[in-house]
Amino acid sequence: MSGVYARRVPLRTPRTLRIPRRIAVLTASAALAGTSVLLTSSTAQASPPTPVSAATARTYLGELTERAEGSSTGYSRDKFPHWITQSGTCNTREVVLKRDGTNVQQDSSCAAVSGSWYSEFDGATWTAASDVDIDHMVPLAEAWRSGASSWTTAQRQSFANDLSQPQLIAVTDNVNQEKSDQDPGEWLPPRTAYHCMYARMWVDVKHHWKLTVNSAEKSALQSVLNNC
């Protein structure tokens, strides 16, 4: 599939408004124009860290504290410093774009200027990095309502830039914006074949970070994991 793709329009107004960041780019060649320094990425890992198995996820889900979702009072994305520098000129977003893409080339400032990205959420493939968002599997606002409101800023920064857990993944930007800060009781990826993996990732992240789940969220996760 090429980088030209019919876009989904969100059917509801998300609780946390996010502004689309780009106009669709038709070809990767336009992005390459005028670029003089290109660095070809290695492809040691072309996906997020593998989450726990469905069986382990079911166990982990049972270990999570079930609690009514907390308030969004006081929440701000600024309280989760993200896209921090990982090495050299590369921030977290560029690291994930390189990791999750194919044949990614970066310029001297580490910006991805060509490559392709397959979005697991909806099955679309994109050839411009501007068509791709880096999704926080457990959204920042959801984390805030699930326990992160009591964390230090340093803890929230680690969570928002976590490359060691299946917390960050490159996906179609409009789909990510449709997801917004919703949990699996409210939203699952349009590509149903990814639901099992999505639930495994979600539970793995929440368990690692000791976040809570509400009853509807837990029920939805149980339903998905029982059918894995």
Tens-place pLDDT, residues 163-216: 999 999 999 999 999 999 999 999 999 999 999 999 999 999 999 999 999 999
- Which DSSP string corresponds to 120-136? TTT--EESSGGGEEEEE
Instruction: Show the CA angle centred on residue 225, arms to residues 193 and 118, nearest 5°.
Output: 30
| Whole-number pLDDT of residue 46 | 58
Looking at residue 6, what is its pLDDT? 38
Residues 149-175 pLDDT 10s:
999 999 999 999 999 999 999 999 999
Q: Are 157 and 80 in contact (CB under 8 A)?
A: yes
pLDDT at 47: 87
Residue 29 has pLDDT above 60, yes or no: no
Residue with the larger pLDDT of the pair 26 and 74: 74
- Phi then psi for residue 156, to 5 deg, are -65, -35
Work out the percent of the chain whose per-residue pLDDT is above 90: 79
Element (H, E) at 49: none
Q: What is the pLDDT of residues 34-85, one digit of tens each?
A: 333 333 333 334 589 999 999 999 999 999 999 999 999 999 999 999 999 9
